[in-house]
Structure 1
Amino acid sequence: MSTEEAEQMRIGIWEHNPNGDRYERVDGEWPNWSDSAGFTRVPDRRRVLLLGESVARGLLYEPLVTPALMIEQALDATAPGRAEVVDLARSGARFQDLLDIAESARDLAPDAVVVFAGNNWKYELTEWASKSRQADEARALERGGVAELLRERESRLANAVTDFVNGICDLFASQAPVLFVLPESNLLDWHTVPLAPVLGNGKDSEWHRVMRRTRQQMRDGDEAAVLAGCEQLHRLDGGVSEEPYRYRARIHLDRGETDEALANYRHARDVRLWCDGIDPSWLPSIGVNAARTAAVSRGGAVVDLTATLPAQCASGIPDRTVFADFCHLNGQGLVFAATEIACALGPVLGLKVTPELCARTLRGPAPEVEAGAAFSAAFVNADFAQSSEVISFYARLAARAAPQIVGAMEAYCAAPAAATPWWMRTIDIPKFANAERCLRGIGRVGRYLYDDTLVRSFTAEINAARGRPDDDPPVRSHAALVPGTRTNLLDPTLAPAWRPLDWEGLLDTLPGRPTGYRHYFRAHTEESRFLFIAAGPAVVHVEITMRLGTSGEGTTQVLINEHEVGSFELGDRWHLCRFSVPAEQVETGRNELVIRWQRSLIETTPLPILARRIEQGLGQELSIVFGEVHSVHATAAA
């Protein structure tokens, strides 16, 4: 059999076996697929195919709990043995992946097809973009700045989504109806680092002044002034900065104006489409609308979670009530989504599925599964630099659901920094199958990064479980400053998250990445934070080589543990700044060094030059860089 013939006889990681006329599992991209050993080619009951991405896989909960299993459970409660759900979802799937799976899956003679996808679609615009696309974006940037670039991407996304929906409908046009499930994302609890878009034409300094004033007014609770400031900011930037939308949303939510708050939270998420490579998976509203319109025009059915999920949340805004991270559903969210899908499939399959029946049937994940999912969610939230409150919430949730998960927390906190993942160097991890699947397959598979916020959250739960005082984590001798030895605080093992915004090039330092890439720090926000560990109070000598990120004028204020230790005038040339921190200001254990970039004048790179970078396929530079750091060396006195 030729390679081409063999590929035609495969569906994902399942290969056709003529003996028994079955598709059976072979080696593949585990754990991105279902654990199913296989399925018959010709069904002996009503068959539903589930296609999708990691949300459809039930990431954090699978393989123990998945949407496919829940949907089948609901259908089976209505008519035992009448229907099956074949789980063909694949984590990380893109447009073409889903189309390829769909085409090969036609051989399975489905009675209905469910497509639960969309969160990865925005990446189609930025990764491996063609030369023509780069040229189109460059021209858009030159014509109308970042706002025009955003409109260009929105238009392209809408067209791509429409083509995808039509492609799926074409494949199953004479075979089975298609149900499209439109995903929602965590709008309230997931926080991205706010970016200041490059505006040019002398607007950047003015925008920055208004933004600083509006932030202070927000802290002061002056709602009228904040709303006026947000209007001024969006007149300057064309509505492409998310922070003003978030301020509006918070004000509307505090007033009880939920619909207005929801609209502004969605705007805050959607405008991030102009920026490359920072935010995790989510589907902008333009993509949701395009999928809905295309599906309805082709006679397909739609389960629109953007319309139904908000009502399931305590705040009325999609939040941790139904989400575990940025887009992956928690146990309650999975039950709700499976209920919506099963009820929509009922008429297609000739079954009477009701929300009441699903409520009696779908009880939600067991405590051990919830513990494993919450434990993994703490990692994911830490990896993307979410707040300590959010990370602690999931650590606490895990420990309360199944106290034995504390053993895994202890293993993580005890593991030293090394290139080998921590779970490969310890045998003290309880066997939570879903947590192992997530962390081995999707999560901590590269260099071990010791996340301080995650360690502190885990330590609090460890102390509570062991009946110890709620003290800080013990000092890690392998990470503490060695007296008389310089330590570069830009070492990737000291990064505050797996994918922090400012530590550019960090992923290129991980095993398996191209060598020769020097890691560096570019401050996209007005405060930059670095961490060092001290074995005890001692004088610490610090050397920082830094400069302003763009032309202009400014100073930096440097603080150690909230104590100011120096202020430096900077320009666009590298400047070596030296100072010493008195022993009484150095704490045993964790110490935080903060650089506050104070720009009085910002001169950004002209848009035509930035457009040339895009056209040449170089890194996008469309947000203001407040400062750059070449190195931060700390030395404890001997």
Structure 2
Amino acid sequence: MNMSRPSLMERWEASRLAELLRSREVRAALQLTEGGGTAGAPRAPRTESSNERRVGIWRAQGSGPRPDYVRDRSIGLDELRMWADIERIEAPRDGELRVVLIGESVARGFLLDPVVTPARVLEHQLANGGRCGRVHVLDVARTCLTNPVDLLLEALDLRPDAVVLFVGNNLLPAQFATGYHGHSSPLSALRERAMRAREQGFHALATAADAIAMRDVIGPLVNVLGEIARAVRVPWVVVLPEFNLLDWYDDDAHTCGLPVWLSGDALIEWQAAQRAASALVDVGDVAAASPHLERMIELDGGTSSWALRWHGHALAVAGEHFRARALLEAARDQYGRFSPVPPCPRNDAGVRARLRRALELPHVRFVDLPRLFAERVQLLPDRHLFYDYCHLTPLGIEVAMAATAAALEGALMREPELPRRVDELRAVTPEVPRIAEATAACLAAVHNTHWGQPAELVAYWLDRASALMPDALDLVAAYLEARATRLPGWMSHGAQGPFRPETQAGRHWYEHEPSLHDIPLAREFEQRRPLPAAWRTCANVDHGDVVSLAELCASDLYAAAAGDRAWSTERRPSTRMAFYSEGGRRFRARLVVRTPGGGEVRVLANGELVACFTTSPARWTRHDAPLSATSGVNELRIEWPAITAVDPAAASRSLDDMVLGHEPDFYHRFGDLHKSSRLTPVEPPFSTERSEP
């Protein structure tokens, strides 16, 4: 066994190169992505001392060459909970191998953290089934990490014997390609893309988006990671992430956006095929929808994520898993390029390939999660491996870290990897406490609700939590109660109990304004347990107050797209809202709407048609729709007219916005809902029971 540490000279050379990269290429890469990324906040702020040694939120204690690093308590709670719950990172000990794990929220163990984390699982597997002696895994992964370069350079001060790099979900080239959703892009690059679209059409803009973003943003950043790996010649293991291909829905039949470059007869035919396909998908006959889905793909050139995803599902049902994977991955990568709402984190195929090329070095080994999961768990990943879009369940963490441990073991011992070692290391994985897994299932139900996922998926996680612990739904009840309070969230009962900052649930508590955005969750919860009284009181619309329909949007995700104007613009075929009632109450929904081409607007309450009226092109129309509420959660849906004509100047205006460096507006507009639209109880209450003659 040869596991000698790098010499002091080698470490000094690596440190010198790291400083060089910090001052040049790294800074250029950081400037390209400043303010970008899908996961938000920057890393922990530095203090005034420019010479202070830090690793993330940990500050060096002492000035020696091998200091301890101590958690900086002056940093705010919102930043602290993004990191491992570790007070002190001690200096290297003789006879101990140190492995640094750097990554995003998946590497953090999102929803299971701090009880279960990939770093702890990896260390336990190496300690109880490995052949490398004493190994300490240093967990410096951060939730919402959008640029790993700076953190990686800092982590070199920890004197690692090996590095595990688990990144890729927060590097989305599609968002940088157009400057969409506020992601910065150089003005010259935006102009170049606009000119290409003018010359070759919008389709060319979409197909070239990844290549342009790779060249200008993602490529330089990934290349810097490769340069660091060349300089720091300790063993590296790069974990390439996977996506929840089967059980994540970026859009559904009611929120399926139209291809931005289709118009005229092609657009009309595409919408007709989509309606026919969605009717079959809704009743579970995905296979019969295949001809309609194929026609949609033929018309739009494979740019509709909805058609690609459901055609992939149809192939999976038919047992054609390899073709299904290709379509499902294409749907994953396509969504978000011109979406009216920001996409969730995901591992783009181009980013994954670029990481592999940049880090293809003799001392770097790869753990390819798509291949690993397909070989050892299931051909197409679903909810058994993922809580949501990319965050791993205990099974996913177990398999991923066992493969990582096997790769580390082979690299440290300078031996080839043995496939059987993955199964042997899985066998020594620590058991996940039932309370931790039940808590994560409850949090998954909440998280999926906020991303507009189907009710069936929310129900699955609620039932999974109850199966693990009968009283697990107490946590969801506390969450709903906390959301209903008129006090700040930290003053609620839940924040003083299960959502205390140091708890598993507390680490994933993000304060929101009291609202009705949790109604899809409440609808499923109500079928299992009585809703908390505080939530019923807050969400109840029976008390005579006028409620703005804008407040009844069924999901945080779509509500965020409304903006600050006097109306919200709907880019999808329908608008869904929900409210709570004790039943036996009549309401009047006053709709103030506008459609670009005019046509028939349909209003449905709990699936039943309650109003149908016609609008004139580009003119505001007011209509009162009477409806009766049932006891519990009710759904109100506006179905907009199909688009039959497209503003010929819309595409040109979007390209002009790109040239000026503004966020472009690509999507077709189905209609506008004015914020004066409201729901009003009608007095007096009445009985919904019919009397017999």
Of the candidates 34, 49, 53, which is equivalent to residue 100 of structure 2? 49
Superimposed CA distance per residue, residues 39-95 of structure 1 (whole angstroms, 9 cap, x where no aligned partner): 234453211111111001111111111111111111112258521111111111122
The whole-number CA distance in structure 1 between the counterparts of 2:658 and 2:520 is 36
Note if 1:89 corresponds to 2:155.
no
Note if 1:115 corresponds to 2:182.
no
Distance verdict in 2 for CA 1:407–1:13, change over 3 Å: same
Match of 1:476 in 2: 536
Match of 1:376 in 2: 443
Match of 1:25 in 2: 71
Match of 2:249 in 1: 191
Of the candidates 28, 41, 58, which is equivalent to residue 109 of structure 2? 58
- Contact 2:132–2:412 (Cα < 8 Å) also in 1: no
- Contact 1:332–1:364 (Cα < 8 Å) also in 2: no
Match of 2:622 in 1: 577
3-state SS in 2 of match to 1:532: strand
Note if 1:445 corresponds to 2:516.
no
Distance verdict in 2 for CA 1:39–1:540, change over 3 Å: closer
The whole-number CA distance in structure 1 between the counterparts of 2:671 and 2:237 is 49
Of the candidates 352, 355, 364, which is equivalent to residue 291 of structure 1? 355
Match of 1:72 in 2: 123
What's the offset of the Cα at 1:258? 1.1
The whole-number CA distance in structure 1 between the counterparts of 2:362 and 2:621 is 64
Q: RMSD of aligned C-alpha atoms?
A: 3.0
Of the candidates 326, 337, 353, which is equivalent to residue 263 of structure 1? 326
- Contact 1:49–1:86 (Cα < 8 Å) also in 2: yes
What's the offset of the Cα at 1:219? 6.3
- Contact 1:54–1:328 (Cα < 8 Å) also in 2: yes
Match of 2:374 in 1: 310
Match of 1:136 in 2: 192
Superimposed CA distance per residue, residues 387-424 of structure 1 (whole angstroms, 9 cap, x where no aligned partner): 11111111121122223433222223444635655464
3-state SS in 1 of match to 2:536: coil
Q: Which amino acid aligns with 1:31?
A: R
The whole-number CA distance in structure 2 between the counterparts of 1:307 and 1:26 is 39
What's the offset of the Cα at 1:479? 2.8
3-state SS in 2 of match to 1:355: helix
Match of 1:487 in 2: 547
Match of 1:622 in 2: 666
3-state SS in 1 of match to 2:513: coil
Q: Which amino acid aligns with 2:327?
A: N
Alignment of 1:29-40 (within 5 A): 29-40=79-90
- Contact 1:475–1:533 (Cα < 8 Å) also in 2: no
Q: Which amino acid aligns with 1:603?
A: V
- Contact 2:434–2:468 (Cα < 8 Å) also in 1: yes
Alignment of 1:101-180 (within 5 A): 101-122=151-172, 125=176, 126=179, 127-159=183-215, 160-175=217-232, 176-180=234-238
3-state SS in 2 of match to 1:598: coil
What's the offset of the Cα at 1:454? 1.0
The whole-number CA distance in structure 1 between the counterparts of 2:502 and 2:524 is 17
Match of 1:586 in 2: 629
Match of 1:358 in 2: 425
What's the offset of the Cα at 1:495? 2.7
3-state SS in 2 of match to 1:557: strand
**The 10-residue stretch of structure 1 (360-369 or 381-390) with the greater mean CA deviation from structure 2:** 360-369
Of the candidates 484, 488, 497, which is equivalent to residue 555 of structure 2? 497
Percent identical residues: 26
Alignment of 1:219-618 (within 5 A): 226-276=289-339, 277-296=341-360, 300-314=364-378, 316-350=379-413, 354-415=421-482, 417-418=484-485, 420=487, 422=489, 424-427=491-494, 431=498, 436-437=503-504, 440-450=506-516, 451-462=518-529, 476-482=536-542, 485-491=545-551, 494-500=552-558, 504-505=561-562, 517-518=564-565, 520-548=567-595, 551-581=596-626, 585-599=628-642, 601-604=644-647, 605-618=649-662
Distance verdict in 2 for CA 1:540–1:280, change over 3 Å: same
- Contact 2:579–2:634 (Cα < 8 Å) also in 1: yes
Superimposed CA distance per residue, residues 291-322 of structure 1 (whole angstroms, 9 cap, x where no aligned partner): 122222676221111211234555x2111011
Q: Which amino acid aligns with 2:104?
A: E
Distance verdict in 2 for CA 1:436–1:489, change over 3 Å: farther
Distance verdict in 2 for CA 1:446–1:532, change over 3 Å: closer
What's the offset of the Cα at 1:278? 2.5
3-state SS in 2 of match to 1:542: strand
Q: Which amino acid aligns with 1:523?
A: E
3-state SS in 2 of match to 1:179: strand
- Contact 1:504–1:520 (Cα < 8 Å) also in 2: no
Match of 1:11 in 2: 55
Match of 1:212 in 2: 275
Q: Which ranges in structure 1 are unaligned for 5 or more consecutive residues?
A: 464-470, 507-516
Distance verdict in 2 for CA 1:138–1:534, change over 3 Å: same
- Contact 2:230–2:361 (Cα < 8 Å) also in 1: no
- Contact 1:313–1:319 (Cα < 8 Å) also in 2: no
Q: Which amino acid aligns with 1:26?
A: D
Distance verdict in 2 for CA 1:282–1:103, change over 3 Å: same
Distance verdict in 2 for CA 1:381–1:572, change over 3 Å: same
What's the offset of the Cα at 1:190? 0.7
- Contact 1:196–1:624 (Cα < 8 Å) also in 2: yes
What's the offset of the Cα at 1:432? 7.7
Match of 1:511 in 2: none
3-state SS in 1 of match to 2:230: coil
Q: Which amino acid aligns with 1:22?
A: D
3-state SS in 2 of match to 1:94: coil
Superimposed CA distance per residue, residues 194-221 of structure 1 (whole angstroms, 9 cap, x where no aligned partner): 3212215534334323333444465688
The whole-number CA distance in structure 1 between the counterparts of 2:97 and 2:114 is 23
- Contact 2:655–2:664 (Cα < 8 Å) also in 1: no
Distance verdict in 2 for CA 1:373–1:472, change over 3 Å: closer
What's the offset of the Cα at 1:356? 3.5
The whole-number CA distance in structure 2 between the counterparts of 1:344 and 1:373 is 28
Superimposed CA distance per residue, residues 453-510 of structure 1 (whole angstroms, 9 cap, x where no aligned partner): 21233334436xxxxxxx999982333335654221212xx3312212x65236xxxx
3-state SS in 2 of match to 1:274: coil
What's the offset of the Cα at 1:557? 1.2
What's the offset of the Cα at 1:168? 2.1
The whole-number CA distance in structure 2 between the counterparts of 1:220 and 1:564 is 19
Distance verdict in 2 for CA 1:472–1:412, change over 3 Å: closer
Superimposed CA distance per residue, residues 334-363 of structure 1 (whole angstroms, 9 cap, x where no aligned partner): 111110110100022229882233122103
- Contact 1:395–1:458 (Cα < 8 Å) also in 2: yes
3-state SS in 2 of match to 1:184: coil
Distance verdict in 2 for CA 1:398–1:570, change over 3 Å: same
Match of 1:637 in 2: 682
Distance verdict in 2 for CA 1:61–1:46, change over 3 Å: same
- Contact 1:303–1:341 (Cα < 8 Å) also in 2: yes
